[in-house]
Structure 1
Amino acid sequence: MTVNHGGSLGMNYFLSYINLILVSRNCSLKQARDLTMELFFKNNIDQYGKETYERFMEAYRELEQKEV
């Protein structure tokens, strides 16, 4: 997925991104979260700004709730 550095990314972007990792890697949600941190954020939560990171965490928490 192409990322424009001009603005923050929304929760729906990360819902799609995490789901793509889940399907393509056939992994757990925790593994998908860790892969997103490594591949997307380069293990730096400030890579795209705090708001983008917060939207990522919101998406992760939403997916986590659906697993229960």
Structure 2
Amino acid sequence: MTVNHASTLSVDYFIRYLELVMNARQFSLKEASQYMTEQFFRGNPNLYGENTALHFKKAIEQIEKKGY
């Protein structure tokens, strides 16, 4: 997946991405968020900027509210 470094990725983007990882790999939300931190962000949640990192955290919170 190509990521444009000049834009901020949305909460919805991360919700869909996390749900995809959870379904495809049969991961829990915690496992999926760890996987994305290591693979997508290459271990640095601020790799694509502070706003993108914040949106990633908000996506995790919203998924948690759904009961995952």
**TM-score bracket for this pair, using the shorter chain length:** over 0.9
> Aligned residue for 1:36?
36
How many residues end up aligned between the 2 structures?
A: 68
- Percent of aligned pairs with the same residue? 38
Q: Normalising by the residue count of structure 2, what TM-score does the alignment of the two structures yield?
A: 0.93
CA deviation profile, 1:35-66 (whole Å, cap 9, x unmatched): 01011111102200000000000000000111
1:29 maps to a residue whose letter is L
Cα displacement (A) at 1:30? 0.4
Q: Which runs of 5+ in 1 are unaligned?
A: none
Q: What do you get for the CA RMSD once the two structures are aligned?
A: 1.1
> Aligned residue for 1:60?
60
> Aligned residue for 2:14?
14
Q: Which runs of 5+ in 2 are unaligned?
A: none
| 4+ residue segments displaced more than 3 Å | none
User: How far apart, in 1, do the equivalents of 2:45 and 2:15 lie?
Assistant: 17
Cα displacement (A) at 1:6? 1.1
